[in-house]
Structure 1
Amino acid sequence: MPVLATINALEKQRGQLFAWAPVWVGAGILTFLSLGWEPSVKALILNALLGVVLLAVGLRLLRHSLVGVLPVALALLALGGSLAGARLHLVAGPVLSFRYYGPVQGRVIAIDRSASDKTRLTLDRVILSRVDPGHTPRRVRISLHGDQRYLTPLPGQVVAMTAHLSAPQGPTEPGGFDFRRHAFFQGLGAVGYTRVPALLLARPPPGPALWLHRTRHALADRIRAALPGRVGGFSAAIATGDRSSLDADTLTDLRRTNLAHLLAISGLHMGLVTGLVLGAVRLALALVPRIALYHPARKIAAVAALLVAAGYLALSGANVATQRAFVMVAVMLVALILDRRAISLRAVALAALIVMVLRPESVAGPGFQMSFAATTALVTVFAWLRDRRRGMPPGGRVPRFLAPVAALALSSLIAGLATAPIAAAHFNMVSRFGYPANLVSVPVMGILVMPGGILAVLGMPLGLEGAGLALMRLGVGWILRVAGTVSAWPDAVSHLPTPPAATLGVVVVGGLLLCLLRGGLRLVGLPVLLAGGLSWAGEERPALLISESGGLVGVMAEGGRVLSRARGEGFVARTWLENDGDGRVQAAAVADPPGRVPRLGGDGPRVVHLRGKKGEARLDEACRTADLVIWDGFLGRQEAPARPPGCRLLAAGDLRRLGAVAGHIKDGRLQLTGAREVTGPRLWTRDGIARGRSKAQLGRTSEGR
Structure 2
Amino acid sequence: MRRVLARVEAGLLGQRGHLFPWVPVFLAIGIGGYFALRFEPPVWALISSGLGGLVLICLHRWCGALSGTLLLAAGLVACGAALAGARAQMVAAPLIEYRYYGPIEGRIVDIDRSASDAVRLTLDQVVLERMAPDRRPERVRVALHGQQGYIDPAPGMRVILTGHLSAANGPVEPGGFDFRRHAWFQRLGAVGYTRTPVLNLEEPGPGLRIFAARMALSERVQNGLPGETGAFAAAIMTGDRSGMGQGTLTALRHSNLAHLLAISGLHMGLLAGFVFGVLRLGLIGFALRYPVKKFAATGALAVAAGYLALSGGNVATERAFVMVAVALLAVLCDRRAISLRAVAIAALIVLLLRPEALLGPGFQMSFAATTALVAVFAALRHIPPDRRGPKVLRAAGAVVLSSLVAGLATAPVAMAHFNIVSHYGLLANLVSVPLMGVLVMPAAVLAALLMPLGLDWIGLALMKPGLDWILGVAHRVSGWDGAVGTVVAPDPVVLPLLALGMLFVLLWQGRLRWAGVAPATLAGLLWVQTDRPPVLIASDGRLVGVMGVEGRALSRVRGNGFAAEVWLENDGDGADQPGAAARWPGGLDAAVVGHALGTGALWHVPGKRAAEQFSGCAKGDVVVSPVPLPRLDCLTFGPEDLEKSGAVALWPSDTTLPHMLTARQVSGQRIWHGAAADTTVRLAHRGPG
**TM-score, reference length from structure 1:** 0.94
**Deviation of the 1:689 alpha carbon:** 3.5
Determine the structure 1 residue equivalent to 2:452.
461
Whether 1:28 aligns to 2:30 is yes
Determine the structure 2 residue equivalent to 1:369.
364
Determine the structure 1 residue equivalent to 2:202.
202
Q: Where does 1:443-454 land on structure 2 (aligned, <5 Å)?
A: 443-454=434-445
**Deviation of the 1:400 alpha carbon:** 1.0
Q: Supply the AA of the counterpart residue of 1:282.
A: R
Aligned match of 1:632 in 614, 626, 630?
626
Whether 1:623 aligns to 2:617 is yes
CA distance in 2, matches of 1:129, 1:6: 66
CA distance in 1, matches of 2:61, 2:568: 49
Q: Give the conservation status (yes or no) of the 8 Å contact 2:8–2:66.
A: no
Unaligned runs of 5+ in 1: 635-640
Determine the structure 2 residue equivalent to 1:676.
664
Aligned match of 1:660 in 647, 654, 664?
647
1:274-330 deviation line (CA, Å, top 9, x unaligned): 0000000000000x2xx2111000001000000000000001010000000000100
Q: Give the conservation status (yes or no) of the 8 Å contact 2:94–2:135.
A: yes
Query: Residue 67 of structure 2 aligns to a residue in which SS?
Result: helix
CA distance in 1, matches of 2:321, 2:399: 22
Q: Give the conservation status (yes or no) of the 8 Å contact 2:9–2:65.
A: no
Aligned match of 1:585 in 576, 579, 589?
576
1:164-188 deviation line (CA, Å, top 9, x unaligned): 1110000000110000000000000
CA distance in 1, matches of 2:137, 2:470: 41
CA distance in 2, matches of 1:264, 1:667: 50
Aligned match of 2:59 in 29, 52, 57?
57
Q: Where does 1:604-623 land on structure 2 (aligned, <5 Å)?
A: 604-619=599-614, 621-623=615-617
1:195-238 deviation line (CA, Å, top 9, x unaligned): 11110111111x2x211111111111111001011000010001
CA distance in 2, matches of 1:597, 1:439: 50
Q: Where does 1:258-657 land on structure 2 (aligned, <5 Å)?
A: 258-286=256-284, 288=285, 291-387=286-382, 389=383, 392=384, 394=386, 396-590=387-581, 591-592=584-585, 593-594=587-588, 596-600=593-597, 604-619=599-614, 621-624=615-618, 627-634=621-628, 642-644=630-632, 646-657=633-644
Change (3 A) 1:440 1:671: same
Whether 1:235 aligns to 2:230 is no
Aligned match of 1:46 in 40, 45, 48?
48
Q: Give the conservation status (yes or no) of the 8 Å contact 1:102–1:163.
A: yes
CA distance in 2, matches of 1:6, 1:674: 43
Q: Give the conservation status (yes or no) of the 8 Å contact 2:9–2:66.
A: no
Q: Give the conservation status (yes or no) of the 8 Å contact 1:216–1:316.
A: yes
**Deviation of the 1:659 alpha carbon:** 0.4
1:506-555 deviation line (CA, Å, top 9, x unaligned): 11111111111112111112222111101100010001100000000000
CA distance in 2, matches of 1:393, 1:135: 67
Q: Supply the AA of the counterpart residue of 1:678.
A: V
**Deviation of the 1:100 alpha carbon:** 0.6
**Deviation of the 1:702 alpha carbon:** 11
Query: Residue 673 of structure 2 aligns to a residue in which SS?
Result: coil
Query: Residue 18 of structure 1 aligns to a residue in which SS?
Result: coil
CA distance in 2, matches of 1:624, 1:397: 74
Determine the structure 2 residue equivalent to 1:637.
none
1:430-489 deviation line (CA, Å, top 9, x unaligned): 110000000000011011110110000100000111221012111110000000000001
Q: Give the conservation status (yes or no) of the 8 Å contact 2:255–2:478.
A: yes
Q: Supply the AA of the counterpart residue of 1:670.
A: P
Q: Give the conservation status (yes or no) of the 8 Å contact 1:671–1:702.
A: no
Q: Give the conservation status (yes or no) of the 8 Å contact 2:105–2:158.
A: yes
Q: Give the conservation status (yes or no) of the 8 Å contact 1:563–1:597.
A: no
Change (3 A) 1:93 1:3: closer
Identity over aligned residues, as a percent? Answer: 51
Determine the structure 2 residue equivalent to 1:169.
169
Query: Residue 685 of structure 1 aligns to a residue in which SS?
Result: helix
Q: Supply the AA of the counterpart residue of 1:651.
A: G
Determine the structure 2 residue equivalent to 1:100.
100
Q: Where does 1:71-150 land on structure 2 (aligned, <5 Å)?
A: 71-150=71-150
Unaligned runs of 5+ in 2: none
Determine the structure 2 residue equivalent to 1:159.
159
Q: Give the conservation status (yes or no) of the 8 Å contact 2:166–2:192.
A: yes
**Deviation of the 1:556 alpha carbon:** 0.6
CA distance in 2, matches of 1:67, 1:79: 18
Matched residues, number: 678
**TM-score, reference length from structure 2:** 0.96
Aligned match of 1:13 in 10, 15, 36?
15
Change (3 A) 1:224 1:393: closer
**Deviation of the 1:642 alpha carbon:** 4.0
Change (3 A) 1:604 1:385: farther
**Deviation of the 1:408 alpha carbon:** 0.8
CA distance in 2, matches of 1:320, 1:539: 31
Q: Give the conservation status (yes or no) of the 8 Å contact 1:274–1:309.
A: yes
Aligned match of 2:254 in 253, 256, 259?
256
**Deviation of the 1:381 alpha carbon:** 0.3
1:370-409 deviation line (CA, Å, top 9, x unaligned): 010000000000000002x2xx361x22211222211110
Determine the structure 2 residue equivalent to 1:638.
none
CA distance in 1, matches of 2:65, 2:5: 16
Q: Give the conservation status (yes or no) of the 8 Å contact 1:503–1:535.
A: yes
Q: Give the conservation status (yes or no) of the 8 Å contact 2:155–2:211.
A: yes
Change (3 A) 1:490 1:622: farther
CA distance in 1, matches of 2:235, 2:385: 46
CA distance in 2, matches of 1:7, 1:676: 44
Q: Give the conservation status (yes or no) of the 8 Å contact 2:636–2:686.
A: no
Query: Residue 95 of structure 2 aligns to a residue in which SS?
Result: coil
Q: Supply the AA of the counterpart residue of 2:180.
A: R
Q: Supply the AA of the counterpart residue of 1:227.
A: L
Output the aligned Cα RMSD: 1.7
CA distance in 2, matches of 1:455, 1:345: 33
Q: Supply the AA of the counterpart residue of 1:300.
A: F
CA distance in 2, matches of 1:398, 1:351: 33
**Deviation of the 1:108 alpha carbon:** 0.3
Query: Residue 627 of structure 2 aligns to a residue in which SS?
Result: coil
Q: Give the conservation status (yes or no) of the 8 Å contact 1:670–1:702.
A: no
